[in-house]
């Protein structure tokens, strides 16, 4: 079942942390989870973003009660895996308890010593990612990519029945800000029957995605029913699943992505919880006439009514020349998370239906989310029609794919009338040779 709204979503709520009020990303109605350490020393531990500050959760555990206090103490570890594994009830108790502390002026003197300026802190991966699965839920992206290679049959017959995905490489997932080294690999021969080339990728691309974090896991051999799947989702972050298109074109048959995907994936540092996202849930877009209904194990009425997310995503580029000249990043595209053909709950149910045991901290990528409208392409291969139509940037530079020195920046925000808007932070990285 989807989360219900409560007092923590009150748009009129004001925090005594002044920078939180009207903050575009982290007002008191958000309170995302992450792991930080102070630049002046100290171990990595769990925190919550509040305005321009980070709240040390372990330090305020004694000010909370019951499950909220237990959750805050568990958050004092270098990763949040153990906390997420406790399931949604502890996360709700933690959020509600912290919200009360941050909106009660009488608590300021007790809580303020546990606040750290975000600019004076270092952020870490919030969890140890045991497994990473990347799905292919963006039907407009799948159609666009399929049209480049199979104009007469862009979507294969299984697409509308099966949430397509592949197992990725968790060891190369890095936090926003870490540089991306251009990968090398084999490339398709220039002519049929020829010898493949080898060298740095010349068709390096980004993919605008969202990451879904698993909270409570399931036992091996025990599938998660679709109606219970949301209880196993801790929250979401922004994900950039970089792709080496030229390497991928040569290697992907017959077993799918390999070296073209395993060199780096970038994740934003804050986990925006399902509680924070409660006001921004939306109906899953109706399937076009003629599309098959989901099979029974993937269908739940409430999930269809509330299983999508009302989140808008943007992707920007800042070339080396742009940064040196002081130019603002240029927005390449924008689009909604409702571009998913399958809901997050359907992904969890399908992933576990064969008995696969999901574990806390596992990451599920949505796949590239293209809006289906001009200006909503979630990758350069779509924007440039496979590299045939170069983009001209405002400073006169052109791009078909990413060049060394290019920085890609992704943002996302949730907005709805009657509620305070919240952000998901940034997912950014620079390409290096």
Q: Is 395 helix (H, G, I), strand (E, B) or coil?
A: coil
Domains and CATH numbers, the chain: 7-124 (2.30.30.230), 132-309+334-377 (3.90.850.10)
The predicted structure's pLDDT at residue 149? 80
Q: What is the pTM of this model?
A: 0.97
Q: What is the pLDDT of residues 177-203, one digit of tens each?
A: 999 999 999 999 989 889 999 999 999
Q: What is the pLDDT of residues 302-353, one digit of tens each?
A: 999 999 999 999 999 999 999 999 999 999 999 999 999 999 999 999 999 9
Radius of gyration (Cα) for the chain, nearest Å?
Answer: 22
The predicted structure's pLDDT at residue 101? 98
Q: What is the pLDDT of residues 359-385, one digit of tens each?
A: 999 999 999 999 999 999 999 999 999
Tell whether the model's pLDDT for residue 212 goes beyond 80: yes
The predicted structure's pLDDT at residue 39? 85
The predicted structure's pLDDT at residue 129? 98
State the average pLDDT over residues 234-239.
Answer: 98
Catalytic residues: 141
Choice among 27-31, 85-89, 152-156, 192-196 with the minimum mean pLDDT = 152-156
Q: What is the pLDDT of residues 260-315, one digit of tens each?
A: 999 999 999 999 999 999 999 999 999 999 999 999 999 999 999 999 999 999 99
Q: What is the pLDDT of residues 56-102, one digit of tens each?
A: 999 999 999 999 999 999 999 999 999 999 999 999 999 999 999 99
The 3-class secondary structure across 136-155, one letter per residue, is CCEHHHHHHHHHHHCCCCCC
Tell whether the model's pLDDT for residue 41 goes beyond 80: no
State the average pLDDT over residues 22-45.
Answer: 94
Q: Is 321 exposed, middle or buried (0-12, 13-18, 19+ CB in 10 A)?
A: middle
**For residue 95, how many C-alpha atoms fall within 13 Å in the half-sphere facing its CB?**
27
Rounded Cα distance, 115 and 213, in Å = 26
Q: Where do we find the tokens 């139509």?
A: 389
The predicted structure's pLDDT at residue 4? 92
Q: How confident is the model at residue 148 (pLDDT cuts 50, 70, 90)?
A: confident
Please report, rounded to a whole number, the percentage of residues in the chain having pLDDT higher than 90.
Answer: 94
Mark residue 326 as left, alpha or beta (left: phi above 0; alpha: psi -120 to 50; beta: remaining): left
The predicted structure's pLDDT at residue 1? 72
Strand 265-267 versus strand 407-414 pairing type: unpaired
């Amino acid at each position: 079942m989807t989360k219900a709204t409560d007092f923590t979503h009150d748009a009129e709520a004001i925090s005594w942390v002044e920078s939180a009020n009207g903050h575009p990303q982290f007002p008191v109605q958000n309170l995302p989870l992450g792991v930080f350490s102070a630049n002046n020393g100290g171990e990595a531990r769990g925190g919550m973003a509040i305005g321009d500050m980070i709240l040390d959760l372990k330090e305020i555990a004694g000010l909370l009660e019951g499950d909220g206090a237990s959750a805050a103490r568990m958050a004092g570890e270098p990763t949040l895996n153990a906390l997420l594994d406790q399931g949604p009830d502890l996360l709700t108790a933690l959020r509600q308890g912290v919200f009360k502390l941050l909106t009660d002026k009488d608590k300021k003197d007790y809580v303020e010593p546990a606040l750290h300026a975000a600019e004076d802190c270092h952020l870490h991966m919030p969890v140890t990612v045991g497994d990473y699965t990347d799905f292919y839920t963006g039907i407009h992206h799948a159609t666009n990519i399929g049209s480049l290679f199979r104009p007469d049959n862009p979507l294969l017959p299984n697409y509308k029945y099966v949430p397509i995905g592949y197992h990725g490489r968790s060891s190369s997932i890095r936090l926003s800000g870490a540089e991306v080294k251009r990968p090398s690999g084999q490339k398709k021969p220039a002519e049929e029957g020829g010898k493949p080339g080898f060298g740095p990728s010349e068709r390096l691309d980004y993919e605008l995605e969202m990451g879904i974090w698993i909270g409570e896991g399931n036992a091996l051999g025990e599938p998660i029913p679709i109606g219970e799947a949301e209880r196993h989702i801790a929250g979401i972050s922004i994900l950039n699943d970089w792709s080496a298109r030229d390497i991928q074109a040569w290697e992907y048959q017959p077993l799918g992505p390999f070296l073209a995907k395993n060199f780096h994936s970038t994740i934003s540092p804050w986990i925006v919880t399902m509680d924070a996202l409660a006001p921004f849930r939306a109906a899953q877009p109706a399937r076009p006439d003629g599309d098959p209904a989901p099979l029974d194990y993937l269908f739940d009425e409430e999930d269809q009514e509330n299983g999508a997310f009302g989140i808008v995503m943007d992707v920007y580029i800042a070339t080396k020349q742009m940064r040196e000249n002081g130019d603002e990043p240029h927005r390449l595209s924008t689009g909604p998370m409702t571009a998913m053909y399958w809901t997050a709950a359907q992904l969890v149910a399908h992933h576990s239906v064969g008995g696969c045991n999901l574990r806390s901290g596992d990451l599920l990528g949505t796949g590239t989310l293209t809006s289906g409208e001009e200006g909503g392409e979630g990758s350069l291969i779509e924007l440039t029609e496979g590299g045939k139509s170069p983009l001209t940037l405002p400073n006169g530079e052109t791009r078909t794919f990413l060049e060394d020195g290019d920085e890609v920046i992704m943002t996302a925000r949730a907005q709805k009338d009657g509620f305070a808007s919240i952000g998901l932070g940034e997912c950014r990285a620079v390409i290096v040779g």
